[in-house]
Amino acid sequence: MEEYEISLKDYINVIRKEKALIISIFLISVIAAGVISSIQPKEYETKTTLLITPRISEELADRGGDTTLFSSSFSTETYEKLAVTNDLLMNIIESLDLREDGKRLTVEALRKRMEPKAEFASDGRTRSPLPLLTMTVRGNDPEEVEEIAEMWGTLFIEKNTELLSTRTAQSYEFISDRYNEVKTELKNKEEEKIAYQKENPLSSLITEFNVLNSTYDKQLSLLQEKRLELEERKTRLVNLKKELGGKQVQVIDNPVLTQIALEHQVYLTMDDYLTDTSVAVSSLSEEISYLEEGTRKLKEELDRKEAKINEIEIHLSDLNREINTLKGTYNFLYGKLQEARIAKEEQLGSIRIVEKPVVPQVPSGPSKKLNVMIAGILGLFVGIFAAFFKNYMESS
């Protein structure tokens, strides 16, 4: 704490010692700033403001519940860049024959004298804020400043109305061409579907498939019955051969065989019964082979028809999906085409001058008081620094 107090006293002593130097530098800075501010030419500024209102079609869309800002495609930076384009500034220079030191004013020099500022403001009628573009023009001649601001407003309206008009017209032509293309594609696709349905009647194929499937089920059931009957006769044939014991002819004297003969009332000998059973087995085998072949062919035909039905259904599903997609695109483009048609027939954009420029009566600069104040503060800091530097050099 003591070292700090000693250091602070040293600083104060240095300032007291070199106060003449500090005051001299301060006064020189203030006087120089005052003199320079006095001899500098006076600067004037004026403003003009443009309000860009929505088109009729955009107001209708806004009232219809569309929450999108009508001006969302243009940012404030875009409007500010449009305000100081090279061609626009060159047109101002040529129209007013602006000169500086006897030479034609350059675009860069004019751009430095202009300050655009864009913002979005609500007008109370629309939910979306409207672009408000303000141009501030500065210069040494008040009448020239007013002429530049007025000429800028006139040329900006002409140039950008023409630009928007061309852009909307091009969008209308593009949407119209695309709409006609989609309309033709949709018509062709619907005709393709009708022709395909005529060539491939799905309902008839499904009916044929159902009838054939019913026949196949019946034949499959009959085949199963014949197979069971064949197994039964084969079993009976084996039993008969066991009873015969290898003999070809035998009088029926066995109680079991006698009972079989009484049941059938046909066979007097086992040889007849054996022969008939063998013939039946052979006949059933051939019949089963025929049924199996017929069933196999029916199955193949069923598979072909089912594959054909699946192919038709898949193709029709693809056609329906394409048709639905084209219908959605068609409806979307139809709505956009109506909006573009309205936008083309009406005035595309309305840019209104809400604040006209006036000839400034009071200069906006340079500010003598502000310059003197800043120079005084800087001179004071420079003087203090010079005092400490001088003290340091003397101590060294």
* Per-residue model confidence as pLDDT tens digits over 267-297: 445 566 667 777 777 888 888 888 888 888 8
* Whether the Cβ atoms of residue 45 and residue 135 lie closer than 8 Å to each other: no
Nearest Cα neighbor of 131 from 122, 144, 139, 143 is 122
* CA max distance for the chain: 164
Q: Which fold has domain 196-334?
A: Helix Hairpins (1.10.287)
**pLDDT at position 362:** 82
Pairs from 53-56 (Cβ < 8 Å, separation ≥ 24)? 53/123, 53/130, 53/349, 53/350, 53/351, 53/352, 54/126, 54/128, 54/130, 55/343, 55/346, 55/347, 55/348, 55/349, 55/350, 56/342, 56/346
Give the DSSP letter of residue 52.
E
Average pLDDT over residues 384-396: 80
pTM of the model: 0.45
Tokens 């704490």, residue located? 1
- Asked if pLDDT for residue 169 goes beyond 60, the answer is no
Average pLDDT over residues 348-366: 77
**pLDDT at position 54:** 60
Cβ atoms within 10 Å, residue 133: 23
**pLDDT at position 367:** 66
d(CA 143, CA 192): 74
Give the DSSP letter of residue 54.
P
Q: Poorest-confidence range of 165-179, 287-301, 370-384? A: 165-179
* Whether the Cβ atoms of residue 18 and residue 390 lie closer than 8 Å to each other: yes
| Both structure tokens of 341 | 């048609």
**pLDDT at position 63:** 46
Percent of the chain with pLDDT over 70: 76
Grade residue 234 by pLDDT with cuts at 50, 70 and 90. Answer: confident
Nearest Cα neighbor of 149 from 351, 349, 355 is 355
Residue spans of the domains in the chain: they are: 17-40+366-391, 196-334
- Collect all residues with Cβ–Cβ distance below 8 Å to 302 and sequence separation of at least 6: 209, 212, 213, 216
Average pLDDT, the chain: 79
| pLDDT tens sequence across 175-196 | 888 999 999 999 999 999 999 9
**pLDDT at position 195:** 93
Give the DSSP letter of residue 291.
H
Tokens 């004297």, residue located? 253
| pLDDT tens sequence across 36-95 | 766 767 888 999 999 877 655 444 444 444 434 344 457 888 889 989 999 999 999 999
Cβ atoms within 10 Å, residue 270: 22
Identify the burial level of 18 via C-beta atoms within 10 angstroms of its C-beta, where 0-12 means exposed, 13-18 middle and 19 or more buried: buried
* Whether the Cβ atoms of residue 118 and residue 132 lie closer than 8 Å to each other: yes
**pLDDT at position 52:** 78
**pLDDT at position 26:** 82
- Asked if pLDDT for residue 123 goes beyond 70, the answer is no
- Asked if pLDDT for residue 28 goes beyond 70, the answer is yes
Q: H/E element holding 135? A: strand 130-139
- Asked if pLDDT for residue 336 goes beyond 50, the answer is yes
Grade residue 127 by pLDDT with cuts at 50, 70 and 90. Answer: low
Between 326 and 271, name the one with better pLDDT. 326
- Asked if pLDDT for residue 21 goes beyond 70, the answer is yes
**pLDDT at position 304:** 92
Between 122 and 286, name the one with better pLDDT. 286
Nearest Cα neighbor of 243 from 230, 232, 254, 235 is 254
d(CA 70, CA 53): 10
**pLDDT at position 183:** 93
**pLDDT at position 374:** 86
**pLDDT at position 268:** 45
**pLDDT at position 256:** 55
Q: Poorest-confidence range of 23-32, 62-71, 195-204? A: 62-71
Q: Computed from CA positions of residues 184, 187, 191, 196, in that sequence, does the dihedral angle turn out positive or negative?
A: positive
Task: Provide the residue count of the chain.
Answer: 396
Average pLDDT over residues 100-107: 88
